[in-house]
């Protein structure tokens, strides 16, 4: 029997992290959890540590680390507790870590995902913000080290599965006409501008098909999530923006498609359950049980398709604009969006002002391309400062 693969799950306590552990628990002979990170969610992390007995745990700061270490000791559980962003980078580089699930939310997930890329690990990438902020640096690091990069975002997993097996990032050679990203349209699909004026964070987090963390739920409601995914697809598959199209498909059964020059369209279908793309990334090119209900075609009433409503949901257009502007524009877009979404979730900004803050920040911050990670993180900080000012002015 072959040795189980060592896995580090970053963002283990989140929505994707929990689904990852659910899949891993079904295959103890294939996977061993080496490390888990959970920032400030200590109760959940403790519960996961009792179940999976990792060698390392990573939390936000020294206080949280001391608390968790004490609880583990009292319960007679193993596991060394580390803390801070640097510790996340250290654990992904451990020789016993074969694969890293990058499932931290936001640009906070970038340095550790980049460290995994630099160390040549197999990266299971849920943290789309890494590619939005640092697409070029990230893909260069992957190429240099020979790391494996497997998309976990359901649309990108669908595209990955619909591309030719030997796809080398050259759409023209592969005969590709378009990458078609499907979007559910989110909880506010069909709402008018007037109806959007007083929506609340609870409304935004009530997604019709997927159960997700709060930040990505708001992004789905504003269509910024689809915008971030357009940028993610551009970097992952080497496809120019004009060959990426967004189609609203409210049932979320088709998870995305590749349209070829000869008229063929290859799509990936399934129930809207993140355990499918997670299992696909974990086991690729093999297929393993993910605990997902098989798709029942007889209970699907219909599959429908619409154009996205860019007038009421301008975030998608802003993301296409940022990709066309190039340089640091996508990083600035992402930083402003993180600030605006956080303000919305905390009752300091209206939903309709999220695109306003993003657009003003794109106009107010220098967008010239940063050449290093440090320069990029400084730009991210500039954009956040500017966006906070715009939030205060709204």
Q: Can you say which residues are annotated as belonging to the binding site for NADPH?
A: 13-16, 40, 127, 129, 213
Interface with ligand NAD includes 236 (CB under 6 A)?
A: no
Residues 6+ apart with CB under 8 A from 110: 127, 129, 130, 133, 134, 138
CB of 37 to Mg ion, least distance (A): 22
User: Do 207 and 186 meet the contact criterion of CB atoms below 8 Å apart?
Assistant: yes
Interface with ligand NAD includes 128 (CB under 6 A)?
A: yes
Beta-bridged to residue 183, according to DSSP, are 248
Helical ranges in 238-367 per DSSP H: 275-283, 315-325, 329-345, 354-364
Beta-bridged to residue 256, according to DSSP, are 268
CB of 12 to ligand NAD, least distance (A): 6
CB of 35 to ligand NAD, least distance (A): 13
Residues comprising the binding site for 1-deoxy-D-xylulose 5-phosphate? 128, 154-155, 184, 207, 220, 225-226, 229
Cβ proximity to Mg ion: between 89 and 129 the closer is: 129
Q: How does 245-259 read in b/e, with b if 16+ C-beta sit within 10 Å?
A: bbbbbbbbbbbbbbb
Cβ proximity to ligand NAD: between 216 and 331 the closer is: 216
CB of 157 to Mg ion, least distance (A): 9
CB of 393 to ligand NAD, least distance (A): 26
Sign of the CA dihedral running 380, 382, 385, 387: negative
CB of 29 to ligand NAD, least distance (A): 26
- Give me the phi and psi of 254, to 5 degrees please: -85, 120
Residues comprising the binding site for Mn(2+)? 153, 155, 229
Residues 6+ apart with CB under 8 A from 113: 10, 100, 102, 104, 123, 125, 127, 130, 138
CB of 319 to ligand NAD, least distance (A): 13
Interface with ligand NAD includes 15 (CB under 6 A)?
A: yes
The CA angle 322-325-328, to the nearest 5 degrees, is 75
Residues comprising the binding site? 13-16, 40, 127-129, 153-155, 184, 207, 213, 220, 225-226, 229
Residue nearest ligand NAD, CB atom distance: 14
User: Do 112 and 92 meet the contact criterion of CB atoms below 8 Å apart?
Assistant: yes
Give the torsion through C-alpha atoms of 327, 331, 332, 337, to 10 deg. Answer: 150
| Residue 336 interaction partner, one of Mg ion, ligand NAD, none, beta carbon < 5-8 Å per kind | none
Q: Which stretch binds ligand NAD (CB under 6 A): 28-36, 125-133, 288-296, 333-341?
A: 125-133
Q: Which stretch binds ligand NAD (CB under 6 A): 97-105, 184-192, 241-249, 364-372?
A: 97-105
* Of the candidates 47, 71, 69, the residue with the CA atom closest to the CA atom of residue 58: 69
Interface with ligand NAD includes 11 (CB under 6 A)?
A: yes
| Residue 130 interaction partner, one of Mg ion, ligand NAD, none, beta carbon < 5-8 Å per kind | none
The CA angle 208-209-210, to the nearest 5 degrees, is 115
Residue 149-178 contact track with ligand NAD, rule CB under 6 A, x = bound: ----x-------------------------
What residues from 38 to 57 belong to the interface with ligand NAD (CB under 6 A)? 38-39, 41
The Cα–Cα gap between 376 and 370 comes to 5
What residues from 130 to 159 belong to the interface with Mg ion (CB under 5 A)? 153-155
One of 5, 7, 8, 13 touching ligand NAD (CB under 6 A): 13
Interface with ligand NAD includes 274 (CB under 6 A)?
A: yes
- Give me the phi and psi of 374, to 5 degrees please: -60, -45
Binding-site ranges for Mg ion (CB under 5 A): 153-155
Binding residues (CB under 6 A) for ligand NAD: these are 11-17, 38-39, 41, 103-105, 108, 126-129, 153, 210, 212-213, 215-216, 274
């Amino acid at each position: 029997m072959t040795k189980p693969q060592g896995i580090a799950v970053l963002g283990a306590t989140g929505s994707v992290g929990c689904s990852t552990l659910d899949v891993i628990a079904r295959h103890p002979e294939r996977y061993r959890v080496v490390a888990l990170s959970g920032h400030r969610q200590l109760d959940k992390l403790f519960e996961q540590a009792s179940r999976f007995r990792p060698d390392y745990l990573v939390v936000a700061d020294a206080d949280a680390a001391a608390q968790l270490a004490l609880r583990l000791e009292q319960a007679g559980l193993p596991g060394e507790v580390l803390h801070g962003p640097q510790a996340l980078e250290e654990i992904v580089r451990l020789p016993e870590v074969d694969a890293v699930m990058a499932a931290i939310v936001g640009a906070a997930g970038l340095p550790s995902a980049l460290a995994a890329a630099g160390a040549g690990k197999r990266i299971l990438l849920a943290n789309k913000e890494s590619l939005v902020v640092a697409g070029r640096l990230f893909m260069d690091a992957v190429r240099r080290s020979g790391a494996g990069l497997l998309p976990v975002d359901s649309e990108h997993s669908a595209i990955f599965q619909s591309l030719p097996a030997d796809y080398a990032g050259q759409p023209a050679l592969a005969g590709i006409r378009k990458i078609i990203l499907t979007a559910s349209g989110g909880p506010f699909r069909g709402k008018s501008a007037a109806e959007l004026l007083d929506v609340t964070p609870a409304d935004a987090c009530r997604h019709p098909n997927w159960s997700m963390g709060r930040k990505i739920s708001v992004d789905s409601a504003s269509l910024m999530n689809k915008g971030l995914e357009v940028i993610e697809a551009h970097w992952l598959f080497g496809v120019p923006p004009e060959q990426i199209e967004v189609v609203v498909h409210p049932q979320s059964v088709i998870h995305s498609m590749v349209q070829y020059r000869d008229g063929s369209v290859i799509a990936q279908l399934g129930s809207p359950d993140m355990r499918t793309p997670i299992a696909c990334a974990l086991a690729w090119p093999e297929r393993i049980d993910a605990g997902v209900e098989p798709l029942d075609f007889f209970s699907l009433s219909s599959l429908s398709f619409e154009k996205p409503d860019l007038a009421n949901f301008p975030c998608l257009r802003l993301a296409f604009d940022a990709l066309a502007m190039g340089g640091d524009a996508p990083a600035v877009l992402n930083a402003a969006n993180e600030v605006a979404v956080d303000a919305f979730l905390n009752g300091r900004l209206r939903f309709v002002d999220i695109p306003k803050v993003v657009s003003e920040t794109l106009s107010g911050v220098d967008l010239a391309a940063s050449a290093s990670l440090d320069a990029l993180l400084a730009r991210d900080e500039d954009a956040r400062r500017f966006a906070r000012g715009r939030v205060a002015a709204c």
